[in-house]
């Protein structure tokens, strides 16, 4: 019995170690215009060359317009993938939410009202997830326009956005909505990343008419206070930043929406940036989301599932 117990124990250790060391690959959330179909994915081995995972994985069912724009996913310490998205262009006072253990089967969709305390709010745009590993909680950052609430600046009152946030552990209860960032200009499309302890970076879009490009800000806590925004590091008409740590630095992907293509910049310090648009490969039609990592076996299962469905369809025809 002792020998059998030792063998079983050894096997369990091997299994546990192999699970912990399972290879992970990059995954990019996506949607296609006009955003009525739902959640799509790209995947990459190196964070530079991307391919599509065929098909749509979750059709939007909440919100006035029932669209899915700006899908954002983060995986928490319990292995759960949490998804939020923009559910309407205008009129919604919240965003959509669902969760999954495998990126295939998704929970019932919820509408999370975060601006219902101010019904003059025009919109809730681009909710973006950040996992706070210090407090083991999720932070959701989004942009809303509340007319006449802030200094007008260059934008009309119905386009004068600021960044807000809530925190939650389960999306059943959330903290009260708080203002995250008022840079004294219209700002949208923010994403937060942690470099080290007390070292956080936020990539954001300056949404004023003459700019409409990307900048960065810094803080010692994800809740701020945040520094003044930097000078822009992208061209005119760029938005939707998503960041991947690749090798010894960061690749910031962004939507060059007038050119109908994806651009990319490489940086090690978020001060100096190199345009690497010609070095990355992103499928045509991809629209901005966020980048995270998932087990390679999980992505292989998704690819096999979709290929199987396609083969079955071919056989029926």
pLDDT at 317: 34
pLDDT at 152: 83
Scanning the structure block, which residue is given the tokens 């004294």?
Answer: 184
| Tens of each residue's pLDDT in the chain, 317 residues | 555 444 444 444 444 444 457 899 999 999 999 999 999 999 999 999 999 999 999 999 999 999 999 999 999 999 999 999 999 999 999 999 999 999 999 999 999 999 999 999 999 999 999 999 999 999 999 999 999 999 888 899 999 999 999 999 999 999 999 999 999 999 999 999 999 999 999 999 999 999 999 999 999 999 999 999 999 999 999 999 999 999 899 999 999 999 999 999 999 999 999 999 999 999 999 998 999 999 999 999 999 998 765 444 333 33
Question: Does residue 166 sit within a domain?
Answer: yes
Q: Name every residue whose Cβ is closer than 8 Å to that of residue 257 and which is 6 or more positions away in sequence.
A: 237, 238, 239
Question: Does residue 144 sit within a domain?
Answer: yes
pLDDT at 20: 54
Question: Does residue 305 sit within a domain?
Answer: yes
How many beta carbons lie within 10 A of that of residue 132, not counting itself? Answer: 16
pLDDT at 309: 53
What are all long-range contacts of 223-230, with beta carbons under 8 Å and residues at least 24 apart?
223/139, 223/165, 223/178, 223/180, 224/180, 224/181, 226/180, 226/181, 226/202, 228/183, 229/183, 229/185, 229/187, 229/204, 230/270, 230/271
This prediction's pTM: 0.90
3-state SS of the chain: helix, strand, coil percent to 5?
Answer: 15, 40, 45
Tell me if the bond preceding 317 is cis, omega within 30° of 0: no
Question: Does residue 94 sit within a domain?
Answer: yes
pLDDT at 129: 98
Question: Does residue 270 sit within a domain?
Answer: no
Q: How far apart are CA 313 and CA 317, in angstroms?
A: 6
pLDDT at 153: 84
Instruction: List the domain range (segments joined by +) for residue 86.
Output: 25-197+218-226+281-311
pLDDT at 254: 98
| Number of domains making up the chain | 1
pLDDT at 286: 96
pLDDT at 10: 46
Question: Does residue 237 sit within a domain?
Answer: no
Give per-residue burial for 93-107: e unless 16+ CB within 10 Å, then b.
bbbbbbbbeebeebe
Question: Does residue 243 sit within a domain?
Answer: no
Give the 3-state secondary structure of 55-106: CCCCCCCCCCCCCCEEEEEEECCCCCEEEEEECCCCCCCEEEEEEECCCCCE
């Amino acid at each position: 019995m002792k020998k059998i117990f030792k063998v079983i124990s050894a096997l369990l250790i091997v299994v546990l170690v192999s699970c912990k060391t399972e290879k992970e690959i990059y995954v990019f959330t996506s949607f296609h215009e006009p955003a009525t179909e739902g959640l799509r994915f790209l995947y990459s081995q190196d964070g530079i060359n991307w391919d599509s995972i065929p098909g749509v994985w979750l059709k939007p069912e909440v919100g006035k317009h029932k669209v899915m724009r700006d899908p954002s996913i983060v995986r928490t310490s319990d292995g759960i993938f949490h998804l939020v998205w923009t559910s309407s262009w205008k009129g919604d006072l919240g965003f959509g939410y669902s969760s999954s253990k495998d990126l295939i089967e998704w929970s019932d969709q919820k509408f999370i009202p975060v601006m219902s305390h101010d019904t003059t709010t025009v919109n809730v745009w681009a909710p973006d997830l950040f996992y706070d590993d210090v407090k083991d909680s999720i932070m959701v950052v989004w942009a809303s326009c509340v007319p006449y609430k802030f200094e007008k600046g260059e934008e009309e009152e119905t386009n004068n956005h600021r960044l807000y946030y809530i925190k939650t552990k389960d999306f059943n209860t959330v903290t009260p909505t708080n203002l995250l960032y008022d840079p004294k200009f219209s700002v949208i499309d923010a994403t937060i990343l942690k470099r080290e302890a007390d070292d956080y970076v936020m990539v954001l879009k300056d949404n004023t008419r003459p700019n409409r490009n990307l900048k960065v800000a810094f803080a010692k806590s994800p809740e701020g206070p945040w520094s003044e925004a930097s000078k822009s590091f992208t061209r005119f008409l760029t938005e939707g930043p998503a960041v991947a740590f690749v090798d010894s630095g960061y690749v910031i992907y962004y939507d060059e929406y007038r050119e109908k293509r994806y651009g990319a910049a490489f940086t090690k310090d978020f001060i100096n940036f190199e345009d690497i648009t010609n070095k990355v490969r992103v499928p045509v039609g991809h629209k901005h989301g966020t980048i995270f990592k998932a087990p390679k076996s999980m992505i292989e299962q998704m690819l096999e599932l979709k290929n199987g469905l396609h083969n079955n369809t071919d056989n029926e025809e």
